[in-house]
Structure 1
């Protein structure tokens, strides 16, 4: 199931923060391509380096959220942010949404860090923060219509099925990645960041008042 859109008929505001986040992610990725490996090593979140000197390396917890490992990584993340971020921003308001996004991203990074704090692999990507957006979305809009691509057909499904399937896949993959981490030191998908970000999105969604108004998306 590959989501390609959702129902925005009840959205009341222009999602300026979501648009700005997408723009920043694209600009940072273009900068990565221009500056090369040195830029990535400097600004990516590297668990082992952070373990050695957390204070000096704290900035990378934020910078890594706007970096990506390739065009496909960037494109997939920005598509999910485009589809689901606007409704979450509409419910929270722009300022709270930005704070929520950063907090979810930090929670995701620490979830991945907890799996292997001695790893020397650079961690990059907005996936953890966007997973938080998905967690808040399924909490606030469980019955929202999400259009998904199934083969050559576009099918409308409720959000709780689409995103529920996504998080189950992350959980299963995450368990496997923990086992692999103990034996290998290779790059790949940071599944535990996805899980941590999603759980943070659920919790923060409640704390940020996402349930105070009724679900307005059919």
Structure 2
């Protein structure tokens, strides 16, 4: 995908992104494992010459001849070079001339070689975790498969009637990239740049610049210049990207933040109209058991706030309600400075939900608004928080900051 080689001396390849969601992206890892496993199980077929009497072999050669990829007089010699894996790809890949609903799914998990597989899995590993954190495991899996099918539709449209199959996860991954483009506009992508022997370094580039380059320069322009049968599934890439972007815009500001150690059922949510304090009544508190010292005093001041957050999430609502706001704000700053934005959002959301609507929470509301803006894709919620501050500002400075959030162009 965004990995380019020129004469063997120039290479630009993404190696990471930031900030990252602080979750274990189980579905992302599972998709990578399934793709790799299918490829490994297919290796024996790659070294096995296809049965010369197979009707599928003759259909495959006829397709190559019809597309001008094989001269008719070379068909006999080519038979010995076709592997059983080639025929499996031909039968289970996505062929516009012979459509099957099953092929839309199976084509997503087949690859043409090691480099094809590794390139796709690299992009899935880099970009998918933030979407999985936002959508949850089930939601992300549905997003991946649906945009993958939409990518297949795009491929069929641009290669209408072609008997040549397309395979690979890149269409579904393009859907992930489209969603990332909408939801995480302020993220940064780390690119490894090699211009041998002059440059060899890693640089950080805005996510929208990187993904825009992928869409326009690496797909739309080549498709316009070379057409749909250039050996790259431009239709799948373009269709998947736009499907992912459209899905992200339709899903809008729905926020799902997974707290450390909590189940999916206990995830914290904030909807588009997000009135955090007003929409959720303060929980009824259980009688507090006498303790020698409050448990929140064990919140360590570690460098990234992770230990303090784990202690905070283990506290009861009564303890969260009674602890000093300064300790919560300090942990929020640690998490934000460490680019643990998802964790900071968890901290702020729980505090606001538990402690109610007082004006003493204005600093925390503004900090939460800033975190949501940096995460990208949560502008309505960010403005809703600032509007709550504007309704009861405690100082002129608070009013100015909140006004900037609400009326920002």
| TM-score, reference length from structure 2 | 0.48
Tell me whether 1:40 sits opposite 2:89 in the alignment.
yes
> Rg bigger for which structure?
2
- The match for 2:224 is 175
Deviation at residue 38 of structure 1 after TM alignment: 2.9
Q: Report SS of the residue matched to 1:93.
A: helix
Deviations 1:125-166 (A, max 9, x none): 001100010011111111112100122110011101111111
What is the CA distance between 1:37 and its match in structure 2? 2.4
Kept in 1: contact 2:90–2:164 (CA 8 A): no
- Secondary structure of 1:59's aligned partner: helix
Q: Which residue of 1 aligns with 2:364?
A: none
Count of residue correspondences: 204
* 1:69 equivalenced with 2:112 (yes/no): yes
The DSSP-based 3-state class of the residue aligned with 1:132 is helix
Shift of 1:8: 4.1
TM-score (norm 1): 0.87
Mean Cα deviation higher: 169-178 or 154-163: 169-178
Q: Could you say which residue in structure 1 is the equivalent of 2:40? A: 30
Q: Which runs of 5+ in 1 are unaligned?
A: 51-56
* 2:156 pairs with 1:113: yes
Which residue of structure 1 aligns with residue 269 of structure 2? none
**C-alpha RMSD of the superposition:** 1.7
8 Å Cα contact 1:32-1:40 kept in structure 2: no
Structure 1 residue 207: Cα displacement: 2.5
**Cα distance in 2 for residues equivalent to 1:89 and 1:208:** 14
Q: CA deviation at 1:115?
A: 1.6
Alignment of 1:202 onto 2:245? yes
Deviation track 1:190-211 (CA, whole Å, cap 9, x = no partner) reads 11210110000101112234x3
Using the TM superposition, give the Cα deviation of residue 215 of structure 1 relative to its aligned residue in structure 2, in angstroms.
4.9
- Higher RCO, Cα 8 Å, sep 6+: 1
Please state how far the C-alpha of 1:7 moved relative to its aligned partner: 1.5
Listed one character per residue, the Cα deviations across residues 71-116 of structure 1 (whole Å, up to 9, x for unaligned) are 1111110000000001111111111111110111111111110122
Indicate the larger mover: 57-66 or 186-195.
186-195
